[in-house]
Structure 1
Amino acid sequence: MRFALCFLLLILAAPVATAQAGFYYPPRGADWETRSPESLGLDEAAIAEAVDFARANEYSGSRDLRRAILEGFEREPYHELLGPVKKRGGPAGLILKNGYVVASWGDTRRVDMTFSVTKSFLSTVAGLAADRGLLRSVDDPVSEYIWDGTFAGEHNSGITWSHLLQQNSDWTGSLWGLHDWADRPPREGGIDDWKHRELRTPGTVMEYNDVRVNVLAYALTHLWRQPLPRVLKEELMDPVGASATWRWFGYDHAWTVVDGLKMQSVTGGGHSGGGIFISAEDMARFGLLFLSDGSWEGEQLLSPGWIEQAVSPSAPNPNYGFMWWLNRPGSRQWEGVPESVYYAAGFGGNFIVVCPEQDLVMVLRWLEPSRIGEFVGKVFEGI
């Protein structure tokens, strides 16, 4: 009886083991193994056309990102650069199929700013906290964990972790000298209108806002009781074999004290400087981890349950999950591309695109942002 039970368990486990074995996981520091598109069922001409398209449609902003940032956010009152900024390189990227590189272009090992792609890394740090029991539920009010006044008051005390992760909290206040109302203000009105606006019930209206994202980073720093770059490095980036070149910065003055230790509270983007500076290859490893449901060579680094939550549409915006963009019906859906596709996106045309049903990951640096849907469509023409 015991032998029969063990044999049955082995049979039931076999499909999972087979699926994992179908992926290639690049070893640390080694050259990434390449395969021809045709060897993995892709049309070589279509993939080449997509790469040519990416090369020909470089982001139109200045390669001097100090200038690009200040011009891009000039409408924001009091906007200034508060953290590190780095001049960017040219167009670069990779296309992975089953983990193998089937196409690459540009300098894929160059470290560049990645802007709001950082948000998808930040939400993953929240997922790691949930997996390890530090965060009991994303539906808990953040005020149950962070009691220093950041989430005090009738409005802010009702904000949950989920509201912050979906950018629909309407958190109000100031952090590191930056006001929530001054970040990406409406086209109409002026400072007095923005200051005294009517607050929306948390969970009802999505508003892209880096101050509130940085509030999430601050809260997670105190939840983990250690710097988030260290958490990301030890829990995820080291296990997936990422290089030693990536960095995660905060504003120069954004420091907090936890357990008597002074540590930087990092940013979830780069429109005032900071955020994650990283290579295309290290971004691809992050995307591949999500493609393989949080597993890397048989080790479960991030739970599939968290990934499912992270890429589920939020109520006020069907195209947005836990800081991942979703190709669902809505204003940001890409024509001719499956609804299962999701992606991280950052200023200047930085993207990590995950296609679960096709076992594809695409990483793009400095593509004109409005052309990303066309690029992905061209890759899908080659399937």
Structure 2
Amino acid sequence: MREPLAALIRKLITPSTRFEIRKYMAWAQDILGRACFWRWEVAKFRLPKSSDYEILYVGRKTRREMAKLLISGKPQADVERGDGVEQSTSTPHRVLVSEMPSAGALYVPHYLSAIIPLGRPLEEITARYDGELRRNIRKCRPMYRMQQALTDDEIAKADREMLQPYAQARHGDYAKQFDTNDLFRIAKTVGRLDLIMQGDEVVACHFGCVITRAGKRYWSTLRFGYPESVFTDAKRLREVNSITTFMALEWAIEHGFDYYDIGQCLARPDDGLLKWKRRRGGDVDTLGNQAYMFVRLPKTGVAKFLWEFPLFAVEGKNLTLHLGLPDGLSDEEVVNRYREMVFGGLFKIYLYCAKNPGELLLENLRDRYAHFQSPPIVEKIPSN
């Protein structure tokens, strides 16, 4: 009874509407979770890179590690108050990170997706890759092929031997494994699980699904998986990882999708995985993400804080980037720091300045965005 009813609902409701319903339900679930105030805590911790800043966290205990990840990127490396580690005697600048909005706080997403606009030749997309990546793809691509996993045994084996072990190896205790029932359901309905073959050897798998938003179709990567023999060999993993992503891109173009979503990663401008996806043409997007935290910047030392810990934030439906320009830095240092933080999909860049930036520096920043169809607005904000 449930399956025919679900099929009827899918037939009556458009894919775009279903996406919005799922998005609203995820938002409502997140709000209900925040409303459990008895699960909240007030905690303080120092950031590992700079003892000048103290984080005051107000929210659920289960989200504290995410707060540390969003700010510092290293949840286990933080110095907690009262743990016996020597603290700075100077008065710290306080940053409020909360699950509840407060005046002037930034609306910071937990995760972002990297979206490649399609509807153009593959050669045009790869033209933006660096030369070494293009050469490696041309050299290695003929050695690989893609084969869809169709049987329950094939899907279960891929989950058991690639998806789960790779997630555990990458994220350890923070790994979020895909529910096996959802894996089977998606692989047989709105998505597929593909095995990546090198000769007769299975070296990877790609698990993806179709998402339709505002009438546009996205081929969305949900998970990559690799066997232990691949993910324990750094050199081989780099090659197989690049080819697997490239083959998913090829498949999306061949099947007429409007966008290819390389998948979610932590919403940190200096996150290594996000940079990796940016180099493959991915534009940042909040696609499907309904989890946020509110970050209120310190009253003093904002430029230095955002220099060390830059942040994405959402304004309405737009994505913004918040960067710091503290005193005592050369233009060359600033350019080198922000070289890898050039993202498509931004509406505005806020540059918090402890000193007035030189026109040459601002021109360099604008030039890096000049090739985008809609370059972001750069707004300077004086910072004490």
Higher helix share: 2
TM-score (norm 2): 0.25
Higher relative contact order (CA 8 A, sep 6+): 1
TM-score (norm 1): 0.25
Larger gyration radius, structure 1 or structure 2: 2
